[in-house]
């Protein structure tokens, strides 16, 4: 079973601790899954190399095997993309390609694969000075309570800076602008569709009211026949009456359009 092991982890606290120390990773795995594995040697790292052209490595990614589970863990400091699951699924698929001999897929015997577990550890980035102080406090607390104390003592300054700046600012800004742009386009399209539908509904109501007016129906009778609120159809009924005997629909719509406050209510009507 051939695997490429990434031995040049990016210098981050998450990978520094959990990508090199099986004992800490086992403790993390147990905490996440509410399990009680004891033997850290059961863990087998299988994080892929990042220098292959067809695969873009996830930021701070880490993968490993334990029992029949493949853990795919990632740490992020920037807001998590809604596509993170798809990205990690691609990662899992790539790991399987490294594990499985393609020829075995054509045999009758079922190929056993580990159950994937995708986990993202996220801590947001807010006020910078408060964040720096918070990181320092957490490091001090961990050292005082002998939590990863040896790692934190040795890499204290590095850890502080990593957690302070650990995100891709350019990519983050691009993602925010792109999301805002798409939301704006979606709202514009929705408003356009809504206006078109509302205009069509109003035109249909004009046609129905015109039939009633031609039969000399009163406003009250028209509202009752069409099962519409009298006050809401009153502007349309009056506009239709004013265009008798031609009942030009374009002129009626134009007349209604001059009364914006009434038009807002009319456009929302449904026949």
For the segment 163-213, what is each residue's pLDDT rounded down to a tens digit? 655 545 555 667 777 777 777 766 666 666 666 666 677 788 888 888 888
Higher local confidence (pLDDT), 82 or 8:
82
Burial of 65 by CB count in 10 Å (0-12 exposed, 13-18 middle, 19+ buried)? Answer: middle
Q: How many residues can be counted in the chain?
A: 271
Q: What is the pLDDT of residue 124?
A: 59
User: Which candidate, 268, 197, 191, 196, places its Cα nearest to that of 235?
Assistant: 268
For residues 47 and 71, what is the distance between their CA atoms, to the nearest angstrom? 10
User: Which candidate, 214, 266, 220, places its Cα nearest to that of 240?
Assistant: 214
Q: Quick one: average pLDDT of 127-131?
A: 56
32's tokens:
């996440």
Question: Which of 25-29, 80-84, 153-157 comes out lowest in average pLDDT?
Answer: 80-84
Q: What is the pLDDT of residue 170?
A: 57
pLDDT at 162 over 70: no
Query: How distant, in Å, are the alpha carbons of 80, 188, 256 from that of 260?
Result: 43, 20, 8
pLDDT digits (tens, 9 = 90+) for 67-122: 999 999 987 766 566 678 888 888 898 889 888 888 888 888 888 999 999 998 87
Q: What is the pLDDT of residue 262?
A: 46
Please identify which residue in the block is written with the tokens 């092991």.
5
Q: What is the DSSP letter of 103?
A: G
Q: What is the pLDDT of residue 77?
A: 63
User: Which candidate, 169, 81, 87, 155, places its Cα nearest to that of 125?
Assistant: 169
For residues 73 and 88, what is the distance between their CA atoms, to the nearest angstrom? 9
| Residue 229: φ, ψ to 5° | -65, 130
Q: Give the domain ranges of the chain.
A: 13-173, 193-267
Q: Are 99 and 3 a contacting pair, CB within 8 Å?
A: yes
Query: How distant, in Å, are the alpha carbons of 112, 144, 171 from that of 67?
Result: 12, 34, 36
Q: What is the pLDDT of residue 250?
A: 81
pLDDT digits (tens, 9 = 90+) for 57-82: 444 478 999 999 999 998 776 656 66
Dihedral sign from CA coordinates of 65, 67, 69, 73: negative
DSSP of 171-202: HHHHHHHHHHHHHHHHHHHHHHHHHHHHHHHH
Q: What is the pLDDT of residue 186?
A: 65
DSSP of 200-268: HHHHHHHHHHHHHHHTT--HHHHHHHHT--HHHHHHHHHHHHHTTTT--HHHHHHHHHT-HHHHHHHHT
């Amino acid at each position: 079973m051939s695997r490429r092991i990434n031995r040049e982890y990016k210098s981050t606290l998450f990978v520094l601790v959990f990508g090199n120390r099986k004992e800490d990773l086992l403790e993390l795995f147990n905490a996440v899954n509410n399990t009680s594995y004891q033997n850290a040697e059961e863990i087998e790292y299988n994080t892929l190399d990042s220098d292959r052209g067809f695969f873009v490595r996830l930021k701070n990614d880490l993968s490993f095997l334990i029992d029949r589970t493949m853990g795919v863990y990632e740490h992020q400091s920037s807001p998590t993309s809604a596509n993170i699951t798809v990205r990690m699924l691609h990662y899992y698929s790539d790991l399987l390609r490294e594990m499985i001999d393609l020829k075995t897929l054509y045999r009758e015997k079922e190929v056993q694969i580990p159950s994937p577990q995708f986990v993202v550890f996220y801590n947001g980035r807010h006020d910078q000075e408060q964040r720096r102080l918070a990181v320092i406090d957490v490091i001090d607390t961990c050292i005082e309570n002998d939590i990863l104390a040896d790692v934190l003592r040795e890499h204290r300054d590095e850890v502080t800076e990593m957690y302070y700046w650990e995100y891709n600012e350019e990519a983050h800004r691009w993602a925010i602008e792109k999301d805002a742009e798409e939301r704006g386009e979606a709202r514009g399209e929705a408003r356009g569709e809504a206006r078109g539908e509302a205009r069509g509904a109003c035109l249909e109501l004009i046609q129905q009211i015109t039939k009633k007016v031609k039969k000399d129906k009163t406003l009250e009778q028209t509202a009752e026949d069409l099962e519409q609120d009298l006050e809401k159809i009153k502007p349309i009924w009056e506009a239709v009456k004013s265009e008798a005997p031609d009942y030009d629909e374009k002129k009626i719509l134009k007349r209604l359009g001059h009364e914006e406050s009434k038009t807002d209510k009319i456009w929302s009507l449904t026949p």
